[in-house]
């Protein structure tokens, strides 16, 4: 009789623990990146009343006779399923789609979290402002290259940082030149404009003039010049800037309309020494031009940009932090690291939505997002809790009924003992 009471007491304790876990899950239903807990019960060792015996020629075997001694909580698992993503529109808010954890530091140890509610601190580092944890990753060099094989460290996003002017080095001409163009028509037959940036970041407008030759229907002459030949006024006359190099030549096309000459890029030089700027040498690539029986659509685009400052940023799916400058340039300034664990359920919660590895979680495998089984990063989103309220309320009812039933066992056992005491009357 005493066994039933102690078994029921163990059941009360186990179901109380289950209710504690349910209460914690519901309390964190709106906690960013929270992962739900699940209770698993196991039975306590049973008392052996009679051992088992094997079968003989005269009779069959007998199973062991055991009386259970109750239940205990065997484990409280952390279920690392994906939580829904909530749009915030804030570029520093990051969510992981798939497996992995953000790598953060509190200054003394490295921790791991799914909470991507980050911000830029006063020291221009990416930080979780609720607990001060720095977000770890890799900083890019001056050319925007990131070495993901190196050690991780805090990521600095230098808002307001000045970017030097990038002079033009390449001009790409693409589109079509009309094969039906009448070579005898007044020139110019087609003109497109291109903007070239000098070493001081100043832009200079130049024109590429195309005229179909009368000698060969598959040839066009080109000229790169300062003046717009379509206007009466020569805009570039008396300019302190001048072009030199292969500023004129002939384009030859095959019968299919593909360019065959020149076979490679040509080189032009912008001489801006009279204004104090250095000379700019750029290659001009005509390889994407065609000559087809369609309207002329040739256009030119040049790289290069004037000086600018970092105004905002975004984070790509692979965790690259892309700085967006006021001059329109986008440059990699860092990359966020993600960690992968063989057994994420073995991580230990330490508060602040953070985890520490244990001997059963395995060592963190740190690398860039969207690689090696690590999930993708969504910028401007936060991962919500994966708590299912319908499941929690159902579990609450089950825990309550289990607790109630175990208390009834104690009541019934007490009444039986009372009857035993009453035998003296």
Q: Are residues 363 and 409 in the same domain?
A: no
CATH number of the domain enclosing 294: 2.60.98.20
Q: Are residues 183 and 237 in the same domain?
A: yes
Residue in the block written with tokens 């073995």: 346
Q: Are residues 188 and 257 in the same domain?
A: yes
Tens digits of residue pLDDT in 164-187: 888 999 999 999 999 999 999 999
Domain that holds residue 291: 170-302
Q: Are residues 183 and 288 in the same domain?
A: yes
Q: Are residues 344 and 379 in the same domain?
A: yes
Domain limit, last residue, from 302, 335, 358: 302
Tens digits of residue pLDDT in 281-315: 999 999 999 999 999 999 999 998 888 899 999 99
Q: How many domains does the chain have?
A: 3
Q: Are residues 271 and 213 in the same domain?
A: yes
Q: Are residues 373 and 408 in the same domain?
A: no
Q: Are residues 181 and 297 in the same domain?
A: yes
Q: How far, CA to CA in Å, does 247 sit from each of 78, 175, 226, 320, 389?
A: 69, 19, 11, 40, 72
Q: How far, CA to CA in Å, does 233 sit from each of 229, 236, 241, 365?
A: 9, 9, 17, 66
Q: Are residues 259 and 206 in the same domain?
A: yes
Q: Are residues 290 and 193 in the same domain?
A: yes
Q: What is the pTM of this model?
A: 0.76
Domain limit, last residue, from 302, 320, 354: 302
Tens digits of residue pLDDT in 377-415: 999 999 999 999 999 999 999 999 999 999 999 898 888
Contact 269, 297 (CB under 8 A): no
Q: Are residues 184 and 297 in the same domain?
A: yes
Q: Are residues 360 and 406 in the same domain?
A: no
């Amino acid at each position: 009789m005493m066994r039933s009471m102690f078994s029921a007491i163990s059941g009360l304790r186990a179901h109380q623990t289950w209710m504690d876990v349910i209460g914690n899950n519901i309390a964190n239903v709106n906690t960013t990146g929270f992962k739900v807990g699940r209770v698993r019960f196991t039975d306590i060792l049973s008392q052996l009343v009679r051992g088992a015996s094997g079968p003989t020629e005269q009779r069959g075997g007998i199973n062991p006779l055991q009386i259970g001694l109750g239940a205990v909580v065997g484990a409280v698992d952390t279920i690392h399923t994906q939580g829904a993503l909530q749009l915030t529109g804030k570029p520093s808010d990051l969510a992981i789609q798939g497996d992995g954890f953000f790598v953060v530091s509190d200054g003394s140890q490295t921790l791991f979290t799914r909470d991507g509610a980050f911000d830029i601190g006063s020291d221009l580092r990416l930080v979780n402002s609720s607990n001060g944890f720095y977000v770890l990753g890799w900083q890019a060099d001056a050319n925007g290259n990131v070495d993901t094989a190196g050690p991780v460290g805090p990521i600095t996003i230098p808002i307001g940082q000045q970017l030097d002017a990038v002079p033009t080095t390449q001009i790409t001409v693409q589109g079509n030149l009309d094969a039906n163009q009448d070579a005898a028509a007044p020139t110019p037959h087609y003109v497109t404009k291109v903007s070239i940036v000098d070493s001081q970041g100043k832009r200079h407008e130049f024109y590429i003039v195309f005229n179909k030759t009368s000698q060969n229907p598959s040839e066009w002459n080109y000229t790169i010049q300062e003046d717009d030949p379509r206007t009466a006024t020569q805009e570039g006359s008396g300019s302190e800037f001048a072009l030199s190099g292969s500023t004129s030549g002939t384009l030859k096309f095959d019968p299919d309309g593909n360019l065959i000459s020149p076979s490679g890029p040509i080189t032009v030089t912008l001489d801006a020494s009279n204004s104090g700027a250095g000379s700019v040498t750029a290659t001009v690539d005509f390889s994407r031009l065609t000559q087809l029986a369609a309207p002329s659509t040739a256009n030119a685009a040049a790289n290069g940009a004037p000086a600018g400052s970092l105004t905002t940023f975004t984070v790509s799916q692979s965790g690259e932090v892309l700085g967006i400058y006021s001059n329109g340039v986008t440059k990699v300034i860092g990359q966020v690291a993600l960690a992968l664990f063989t057994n994420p359920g073995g991580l230990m919660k330490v508060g602040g939505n953070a985890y520490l590895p244990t001997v059963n979680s395995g060592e963190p495998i740190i690398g860039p997002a969207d690689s090696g089984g690590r999930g993708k990063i969504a910028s401007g989103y936060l991962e919500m809790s994966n708590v299912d309220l319908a499941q929690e309320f159902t579990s609450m009812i089950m825990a309550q009924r289990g607790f109630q039933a175990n208390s009834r066992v104690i009541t019934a056992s007490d009444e039986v003992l009372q009857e035993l005491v009453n035998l003296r009357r």
